[in-house]
A and B are shown apart, each in its own frame.
Chain A
């Protein structure tokens, strides 16, 4: 079946450094790729998304890149801050054969002050 693999599962960086999280998807019909941030005990919240007709998107310190050929997409966080500490989930979504959104297993990011 379709799946999304996410790496690494845990990432620890020093405040001010960059963090990169990578995802690979299997369903070639996927054309929407959101990223969600989930702080401890809270609900997931969308932080950035990218559609398949775009290769890169940036929003302040956060950027996402997409390589459709390789079925890879990545989240880049620059100048990390302690409040960036959370679990980050990537997802791949398609409408072929019915609505479907597949999430990765998550990356726990620790930003050390």
Chain B
């Protein structure tokens, strides 16, 4: 039984570039949410999607965008990368996208911006 999978596991980019991170939810889960985790801090909510619709958005600039596909997988895009975007990006899936559901996290994508 596959869990939440994220790709790539590690990524190195330079300032100004853009990046696309990918997430596949657990089979049967229709909701995906994205979090940014800076070293030593808790995950910060970026987006939540359910049935391809954005259901929630955190306090992140417009450089961050996301989408969900018909198979419920998701992409997180970040444009014009800044040094401060360096972090672990976590994806989590849940069955119905309700705020009081258990989240299943992936292992994350470690992004380094040089």
Contact = CB atoms under 8 A, between A and B. Distances in A.
B33 A103 contact: no
B36 to A, nearest CB: 11
A51 B59 CA distance: 25
**Which bucket holds chain B's interface residue count?**
20 to 34
A100 B45 contact: yes
A89 B107 contact: no
B26 interface: no
Contacts, number: 68
Interface in A1-46: 1, 4, 6, 31-32, 34, 36, 42-46
Given A43-B108, A44-B105, A98 B100 contact: no
Nearest to B108: A43
22 contacts: A31-B100, A32-B99, A34-B102, A36-B103, A43-B4, A43-B105, A43-B107, A43-B108, A44-B43, A49-B102, A91-B42, A93-B100, A95-B98, A98-B56, A99-B55, A99-B99, A100-B45, A100-B56, A101-B33, A102-B45, A103-B42, A106-B42
